[in-house]
Structure 1
Amino acid sequence: MLGFINNFFKNRPDKELKVSPQVPERPKSDQFSIGYDPNLIDELEGTHVHLVNLFGRIWSEFEQTNYGKVATLINQFKADFQAHLLTENVKFYVYLEQALADDKHNLKIVKEFRTDMNEIANAAIKFCRTYQGKFTPEMVQNFKSDYTNIGEIVTRRVSLEEKSLYILYRPR
């Protein structure tokens, strides 16, 4: 497995994909249109683990020259990644932007994270679109470099989110 995947899992507690068992309570104030979800961070972190594992499986299949399986896994990664981004954009970022409306410094940081994540997401989706179909010899030749670049960017970003940004998510 490539180094960026191993680095992602170093010194990390085991987490599995978690889905909130119930709908979070509506906010007590009309100030927030998105309520606090006590399970959201565990859910997002569990999805990160799932996505990194799935990304690692893509590489394993590529090494075995099973390009049809690579394309299938890339399609799955793309769908799961987009679902994760929607959850993060709606439940996480919107909540934080509302909750930090009076904290201009942290609000600016959150907005920068969100903008950066959208740029990273666009690059990851472009990678997925490039490799989601039948592989040509040129695609095979470019795959390792493209895969490594996207993998390093995404895993670095996920680690940064979990260590620096998710701590801001708390009931207000």
Structure 2
Amino acid sequence: MFNFISDLFRGDSDANDERYARSTVAGGKPNRTISYDPTLVNALKKDHHALVDIFQRIWSEGYERQDFRKLSGLLTEFKSGFQAHLIKENVRFYVYLEQTLADDAHTLQIVKDFRSDMNEIANAVVQFCKRYSHEAYTAEMIRDFKRDYQKIGEALTRRVTLEEQELYTLYQPA
């Protein structure tokens, strides 16, 4: 699991962090900017693939087998990987788009709406993971899990598809 999380943040070269964030002085104040990273979109898609794999295992290795210890562990792994992905996406992807689209109010608003929507989905995912990260389940939790899992799965599937087919196409060199 720790390799998965560290892989989320590793670029082509750890020594090349300067390409992601530069600090310049403008009017005496530091000005942070995020540079284009040609490997970022593929890294985000790789994250999606890994998260989908864990999410499917939550069902097949945890819920279907009624192995609540395994289910709890997979939910914790999913939540950690999901949050690490969101940090990467928020810091490196969205900030870059907001910088480069500053003069295109319409597209910038679409990006901000995507970001806001993702924050709502993220809250639901984290709450789902917290609610079901227990090694003992009540009958009510077992019944509700299936419904909640399907709702989260539908939201994530819709979101990943939109990101990969629409949103990620906006990520271009400035």
Change (3 A) 1:51 1:26: closer
Q: Secondary structure at the match of 1:33?
A: strand
- The aligned residue for residue 143 of structure 1 is 145
- For residues 141 and 163 of structure 2, the distance between their equivalents in structure 1, rounded to whole angstroms, comes to 31
- The aligned residue for residue 131 of structure 1 is 132
- For residues 161 and 53 of structure 2, the distance between their equivalents in structure 1, rounded to whole angstroms, comes to 14
- For residues 69 and 9 of structure 2, the distance between their equivalents in structure 1, rounded to whole angstroms, comes to 29
Q: Aligned residues, how many?
A: 156
Change (3 A) 1:39 1:136: same
- Residue identity matched to 2:108: L
**Contact map agreement 2:22 2:34 (CA 8 A) in 1:** no
- The aligned residue for residue 53 of structure 2 is 53
Change (3 A) 1:50 1:18: farther
129-138 or 24-33: bigger deviation: 24-33
Greater share of strand? 2
CA deviations over 1:39-65 (Å, ceiling 9, x no partner): 000000000000001000000021011
- The aligned residue for residue 115 of structure 1 is 116
Moved >6 Å (runs of 4+):
none
- The aligned residue for residue 103 of structure 2 is 102
- For residues 71 and 28 of structure 1, the distance between their equivalents in structure 2, rounded to whole angstroms, comes to 40
- The aligned residue for residue 3 of structure 2 is none
TM-score, structure 1 as length reference: 0.85
Q: Which runs of 5+ in 1 are unaligned?
A: 1-16
Question: What's the Cα RMSD here?
Answer: 1.9
- The aligned residue for residue 38 of structure 1 is 38
- The aligned residue for residue 7 of structure 1 is none
**Contact map agreement 1:72 1:132 (CA 8 A) in 2:** yes
- The aligned residue for residue 77 of structure 1 is 78
Q: Give the share of equivalent positions with the same residue, in percent.
A: 52
19-28 or 31-40: bigger deviation: 19-28
TM-score, structure 2 as length reference: 0.84
**Contact map agreement 2:22 2:33 (CA 8 A) in 1:** no
- For residues 56 and 86 of structure 1, the distance between their equivalents in structure 2, rounded to whole angstroms, comes to 22
- For residues 98 and 108 of structure 2, the distance between their equivalents in structure 1, rounded to whole angstroms, comes to 6
Q: Which has the larger radius of gyration?
A: 2
Q: Secondary structure at the match of 2:166?
A: helix
CA deviations over 1:94-127 (Å, ceiling 9, x no partner): 0000000001111010000000000000001110
129-138 or 111-120: bigger deviation: 129-138
- For residues 132 and 88 of structure 2, the distance between their equivalents in structure 1, rounded to whole angstroms, comes to 25
Q: Secondary structure at the match of 2:34?
A: coil
- For residues 112 and 118 of structure 2, the distance between their equivalents in structure 1, rounded to whole angstroms, comes to 10
